Structure 1
Amino acid sequence: MRDSIKKAISETVQDLIDSGFTTSFTEKELNSLGVTIPDVHLTTCQIKEIRETLNVSQPVFAKLLNVSPSSIRQWEQGKRQPTGATRVLLELLKQSPHILDYRLNA
């Protein structure tokens, strides 16, 4: 594949991922194109802001995320960082605070 075509494809796929579009590329294919999936970085203040935006207490927030209240406390105090899927879920909540509203409706 010519370098100019590979670069154009790489930039297009990277733009799709950065914009939140779902792609069906494998990790190997993305790596071969030089496409990266950005890491999720959240500060303690951002985690607290997400919870406060939802207007819930730490125990309720913990229940929504299916983690312990102790984890929420430690994240907000900077003693620990969320990991894995929870980190991604927090990023989604930051962008769309109402995505878990269905869990609050009985």
Structure 2
Amino acid sequence: MRESIKSAIGETVQDLINSGLKTSFTKKELDSLGVEIPEVHLTNFQIKEIREKMNLSQSVFAKLLNVSPSSIRQWEQGKRKPSGSTKVLLDLLKRSPGILDYRLNIVDCLPTKQ
């Protein structure tokens, strides 16, 4: 494949990924096209902002993310950073704060009338 065509395809695929569209490329194919999956960077202030936008305490937020309340505290204080899939999940929550509302089961927690 000519380099100019390869470059154009790579740019198009990168744009697809950056826009959030689903793709079904292998890591090897992405590498050959020069496409990189962007790293997620969140500050401690952004993590706290995500939690506060959701109106959740640190302990409830921790339960929602399946991490310890201590982890949430340390992330928000800048002592530690989230890693792996938790970092990606936090990035999703930053973009769409209601994405995990189904996990809260707020309706199920309300007392029923007898």
TM-score by length of 1: 0.98
Using the aligned pairs only, state the percent identity. 77
How far apart are the structure 2 equivalents of 1:5 and 1:60? 50
After superposition, residues 1-106 of structure 1 pair within 5 angstroms as 1-105=1-105, 106=108
Partner Cα distance (2:28, 2:103) in 1: 36
Residue identity opposite 2:60 in structure 1: V
SS at match of 2:97: coil
CA apart distance, 1:8: 1.1
1:89 to partner: Cα distance: 0.2
* Larger Rg over CA atoms: 2
CA distance in structure 2 between the aligned counterparts of 1:75 and 1:47, rounded to whole angstroms = 7
- Alignment deviations for residues 21-69 of structure 1 (CA, whole Å, 9 cap, x no partner): 1211111110110000000000000000000000000000000000000
The separation in 2 between residues aligned to 1:28 and 1:79, in whole angstroms, is 36
- Specify every segment of 5 or more residues in structure 2 that has no aligned partner in the other structure, as ranges: 109-114
Structure 1 residue identity aligned to 2:63: K
CA distance in 2, matches of 1:62, 1:26: 33
TM-score by length of 2: 0.91
